[in-house]
Amino acid sequence: MLKHLPNALTLLNLFCGAIAVIFAVQNQFAAAALFVFLGIFFDFFDGFAARLLKVQSELGLQLDSLADMVTSGLVPGIVMFKLLAFTTNTDGHSIDDSWNTMLDFQHLDYSLVPLIGLLITLASAYRLAKFNIDDEQQSYFKGLPTPANTLMIVSLPVILEFQNTELISRIILNPWFLIGLTLLSCYLLNSHIKLFALKFKTWDFKPNTMRYSFIALSLVLVMVLQFVAIPLVILLYIGLSLMDTYVLRNEN
């Protein structure tokens, strides 16, 4: 029975992602984010369980990508769509009914701008497909992993709900900021930037200096800034990876 544990965890990831989609469509972003976090938790431990039990399989690899496509591909695309729909809504409607008013086939009254957010879903699908056929990405990632990108995107409405200020609202609810972030997200997902993976072959400090440093700095940021720290942690991850690839290794 234990050999089925990794796939069961992967299916839990998919289950959480499907629930997150429902909440995101209903503009319940905090609930959507909660189930995204749970899905990513299961996503992390399905691979860990597979390696621990030595039951890695091609089925598990494909199932993992299919689950990620929902939790870390579809959900962030919907969230960005909804944010852009809200920022471009000039009819005075609230965010709760913007989904219905932005696309009205009967009167051909629609805005194409929110659809830009779905580029994240397309870029995530492309990245996941590339990952499945790339044998190099064992100890590192090539481009930003979809779960990290998803955390960055879904954190935006959560920040607006729990830590909103005039400055934060002005930044996040700026359509140009959201469009720029969408394009940056698509680029990072499929870039050739090498990012270290949080996979520990040993618990010794020296070979894992960058990983331990990232975890420690991330915890400090989260304790100080709470939800605002999430996008900063993703930027920290990218920055430390670039430092590790282009600075520290060249010195050695």
- Closest-CA residue to 47 (of 10, 72, 2): 10
Contacts of 4 (CB under 8 A, 6+ apart): none
pTM value is 0.86
CATH of domain 2-192: 1.20.120
122, 182 Cβ separation under 8 angstroms: no
Lowest-confidence range among 8-17, 85-94, 103-112, 234-243?
103-112
98, 82 Cβ separation under 8 angstroms: yes
Outline where DSSP puts E strands in 127-245. 140-142, 194-196
DSSP string computed for 105-128: TTTTEE-SGGGGGGHHHHHHHHHH
241, 235 Cβ separation under 8 angstroms: no
CATH 1.20.120 in the chain: give the residue spans. 2-192
> pLDDT tens digits for 105-150?
454 455 789 999 999 999 999 999 998 887 766 667 889 999 999 9
